[in-house]
Amino acid sequence: MSQAVGSTALAYARVWHEVNVANQVLGRISPEIAKLLMGKHKPIFDPAADCGDYVVVTNAARVRVTGTKAQQKLYRYHTGHPGGLREVPFKDMITKKPTEVIRHAVSGMLPKNRLRDDRLARLLVFPGKDHPYKKNIAKSFVSKTAYRPIVGPDAAADPSLRV
């Protein structure tokens, strides 16, 4: 019996999402981006089919990390030569290659299967707010875990809590 469903590629209308990660926590926004890339937000989601959307990430240079990760988090790679293990701290990586910080975090959130490279190809990351895909954007994504500064009666008394 054949497993072919027919021309199912036409059923997967890919929507373009824009995600502004300025002042967003890296570990909180990465799973949300991964869900959009996989298509888990769609009612037609199938783990074996690639039905995800395009995601344009802006302001990658302004992403936040919590605690002491800015000083302690390391990105490791190997040159291929003996003794060629290199370590780059987060604070250096975010200044030199802010797009790779987002791509690395989202890549870790995607399942390790044959669809991973295709899903990552639909992730477009830009260090600033400008990008060439403005006409394609259908939805602007607002995270449920967005950073909201403390505002209230105590904020007026304590200058460290002011926005």
Reported as a single tens digit per residue, the pLDDT across 109-132 is 999 999 999 999 999 999 999 999
Look at strands 85-89 and 74-78 and give their pairing: antiparallel
CA distances from 113 to 37, 49, 126, 140 (A): 14, 11, 26, 28
CB 92 within 8 A of CB 54: no
Residue with tokens 């995601």: 55
Picking from 152, 40, 105, 67, the residue whose alpha carbon sits closest to that of residue 97 is 105
129: left (phi over 0), alpha (psi -120 to 50) or beta: alpha
What span, in angstroms and rounded, lies between the C-alpha atoms of 15 and 13?
A: 6
pLDDT given at position 6: 53
pLDDT band at 66 (very low <50, low <70, confident <90, very high): very high
Instruction: Report all structural domains of the chain as residue ranges with CATH numbers, in order of start.
Output: 14-65+97-139 (3.90.1180.10)
pLDDT over threshold 80, residue 74: yes
Chain Cα centroid distance, residue 126: 11
The 3-state DSSP class for residue 55 equals strand
pLDDT (mean) for 39-59: 94
- Residues of the chain with pLDDT > 90, as a percent, come to 75
pLDDT band at 140 (very low <50, low <70, confident <90, very high): confident
Residue with tokens 């003996």: 82
Phi then psi for residue 18, to 5 deg, are -110, 130
Helix axes 26-38, 98-109, angle to 10 degrees: 60
pLDDT over threshold 80, residue 50: yes
Tokens of 115: 């669809």
Tokens of 150: 């403390």
Is pTM, for the whole model, over 0.75? yes
pLDDT given at position 13: 86
What span, in angstroms and rounded, lies between the C-alpha atoms of 155 and 163?
A: 8
CB 103 within 8 A of CB 120: yes
pLDDT (mean) for 147-152: 50
pLDDT given at position 163: 44
